[in-house]
Structure 1
């Protein structure tokens, strides 16, 4: 019978040796605050977070299959707004009913479910005490034409608290035309969320058509996403959600902003784990947990891609994955299995920090 590690190696395929055997020579792992069972005590006990916020953070860290590990597996479903309900749920129409979103998170043993205000509100009395809710309070609605890179408020922090949310989630499109307004709105929302005792999670994305040069999309460059993370922790996000970095050199390619040669020569490299580690470094050296997103569903390759992302995130010093489309755009049983495979990476003690 295959061990868990052997199964993960098989899914990684030709990348197994490179990802599982990599030794990071950029930022030493001992410089970081690592995910651990007592992470909330170690990091937040001396912070300005209230007792109620600490309680809700502990609820998130101590729910599901990863409870007590310091790692997180969160199911996010905001695609009904961020894309369109039809494009998001056509592959599996049962998810037009938000109860199935919550059931998937419960069945898969996730730490929390993150979805829209309406989806949580319609079912809050039935499920708010069974799994931590992350209420997403802003969205890019994408029905306006032409589409714009903008996040607008869809709900209030007070309403999220009333429906029993353990945390609020929000997105900022750093680099977009409306980013200054979004920073102000979200920072004020996060301040109120902490006053009411909720945790805060920031979808920390970069968006600007000028970030695309010569066939490369630098919206996922390690240096630009790392800076977005650093802005996100500055407005007191308790957890940062970020896309996995695909390359580096965004500042240099676009020829703007401020950079330093050591960012590319000493603090990172072309290796995917080193790129992700630079993202973690920008989250106050891991004091604020980095969860990477799973990305769109591509069909048969989804499981291998999700496990690969989990290995990179964990070995870089990240705190887990937040995977939606790869799970809910397939039959529920298969979605549960995919999420469990991701969680197995974080439960495997042989896969450690690089």
Structure 2
């Protein structure tokens, strides 16, 4: 049974009115290219994307419980590389077997499943025609001692194509010492993926120890993540994955004193955003060419209130103008039945017509 508005309000508790009734007075929803059943025809049809890319974008949007709505629910499980397999799967060792990852995505009615070359290749003949594959082409390797933080290629675009992938995904650590190389690598990879007909999804993460200023972490500030989104859309991403903003003012903090970092305009803070999470996320959407590239927010780590947190994240994304959620650890780090329930609750937010753009 779908999650109704009264159940959603109960999950949100004291935050319900603030999230469900908020009116965005920064960037009007009328300026946005909004998710819809006709998204591919209305947006990417007019671009340089070839027919095969359009077909795979439509395939992503037509699959699962959200099929035909213009919204996406993707299960991403690449944490076995990014965070170590033991740390990721100790809570539920079944997911050491990649087949269970794909089974969870299918049973939960996800639009697609995103994982590593090895994981998806190991079951591609059995499942690539049953659910769209998003093959993650680069990763941060965490076995080097001391740990280094870089995204390196783990396979080829041809390999992703051969296993029947609908899309490829990649991460760039914007702001890091390695970001220039990563930008060039990913731009070339995405160009070739488009040539072969696959869609592209970019994890637009910021990473630099200097982004922590006076005890405040600005890695997920709206202004810095917004600019990461803008660069990511520019280099060829069809869909942008980003963490939801937790604050704002990263440029200001980094420009304190005599330092000079980047460029800013005070209207970013006074007119284009407020301190409300929906307005901060809308600024992220604005930086994806006003929604021409869909914004999917990440679900974040598993915690004490996963179901309520997942619903809240989905509401913020939807009301801001985003295209959906890509949630992994909250779903797979629990028994499969609970994982399916959590993913379905996220999807119910996008299926609920009472939850509208702010």
Q: Deviations over 1:157-180 (max 9, x none)?
A: 000000000000000000001000
- Distance, in Å, in 1 between the alignment partners of 2:346 and 2:185 is 33
What pairs up with 1:224-243 in 2 under 5 angstroms? 224-243=224-243
The CA distance in 1 between the partners of 2:36 and 2:161, in whole Å, is 28
Cα separation, 2, equivalents of 1:216 and 1:147: 23
CA distance in 2, matches of 1:321, 1:115: 15
Residue in 1 that maps onto 2:356 = 352
Counterpart for residue 133 of structure 2: 133
Return the offset for 1:149. Answer: 2.1
Deviation at 1:3, TM superposition (A): 6.5
> Superposition pairs for residues 323-338 of structure 1, below 5 Å?
323-338=327-342
Given the alignment of the two structures, is residue 200 of structure 1 paired with residue 200 of structure 2, yes or no?
A: yes
SS at match of 1:283: coil
Q: Does 1:277 align with 2:282?
A: yes
Q: Distance in 1 between matches of 2:245 and 2:194?
A: 29
User: Is the contact between residue 61 and residue 67 of structure 1 (CA under 8 Å) also seen in structure 2?
Assistant: yes
Q: Which of these residues, 296, 300, 305, is aligned with residue 301 of structure 1?
A: 305
**Structure 1 portions without partners, runs of 5+:** none
Q: C-alpha separation between the residues in 2 aligned to 1:217 and 1:253? A: 10
Within the alignment, does 1:63 sit opposite 2:63 as a pair?
Answer: yes
Partner in structure 2 of residue 165 of structure 1: 165
Asked if the contact 1:206/1:228 (under 8 Å) is kept, the reply is yes
Runs of 5+ in structure 2 lacking a partner?
256-260
1:262 aligns with 2:277: no
Quote how far apart the aligned CAs of 1:185 are. Answer: 0.2
The alpha-carbon deviation at position 147 of structure 1 amounts to: 1.6
1:341 to 339, 345, 349: 345
Give per-residue Cα distances to partners, 1:103-162, cap 9 Å, x unaligned. Answer: 000000000000000001011100000000000000001111222221000010000000
Contact 2:3 2:348 in 1 (8 A): no
* Number of residue-to-residue matches in the alignment: 353
Supply the distance in 2 between the matched residues of 1:19 and 1:176 (Cα, whole angstroms).
34
Give the counterpart of 1:292 among 297, 304, 312.
297
For 1:321, the equivalent position in structure 2 comes to 325
Residue in 2 aligned with 1:87? 87
TM-score when normalising by structure 1: 0.99
Confirm whether residue 10 of structure 1 aligns to residue 10 of structure 2.
yes
Instruction: Tell me the CA shift for residue 214 of structure 1.
Output: 1.5
- Conserved in 2, the CA contact under 8 Å of 1:149 and 1:177? no
The CA distance in 2 between the partners of 1:288 and 1:2, in whole Å, is: 28
Alpha-carbon distance in 2 for matches of 1:12, 1:2: 16
Shift of 1:91: 0.1
- Report the Cα distance in structure 2 between the residues aligned to 1:34 and 1:257, rounded to whole angstroms: 30
Matches of 1:3 and 1:336, distance apart in 2: 13
Whether contact under 8 Å (1:134, 1:166) holds in the other structure is yes
Matched residue SS, 1:233: helix
Distance (Å, rounded) in 2 between the aligned partners of 1:2 and 1:141: 39
> In structure 2, which of residues 306, 311, 315 is the aligned counterpart of residue 311 of structure 1?
315
Query: Alpha carbons of 1:180 and 1:3: their partners in 2 closer, same or farther (altered >3 Å)?
Result: closer
Q: Which residue of 1 aligns with 2:258?
A: none
1:57 Cα deviation from its structure 2 partner: 0.5
Alignment partner, residue 177 of structure 2? 177
- The CA RMSD over aligned residues, in Å, is 1.0
Specify the SS of the correspondent of 1:351: coil
Q: TM-score, normalised by structure 2?
A: 0.98
* Aligned residues of 2:2 and 2:348 also touching (Cα < 8 A): no
Shift of 1:9: 0.7
Residues in 1 aligned to 2:334 and 2:214: alpha-carbon distance in whole angstroms? 35
Q: Given that residues 161 and 198 in structure 1 are in contact (C-alpha distance below 8 angstroms), is that contact kept between their aligned partners in structure 2?
A: yes
**Aligned partners of 1:342, 1:10: CA distance in 2, in Å?**
15
Aligned to 2:100: 100
1:45 aligns with 2:42: no
Change (3 A) 1:79 1:3: closer
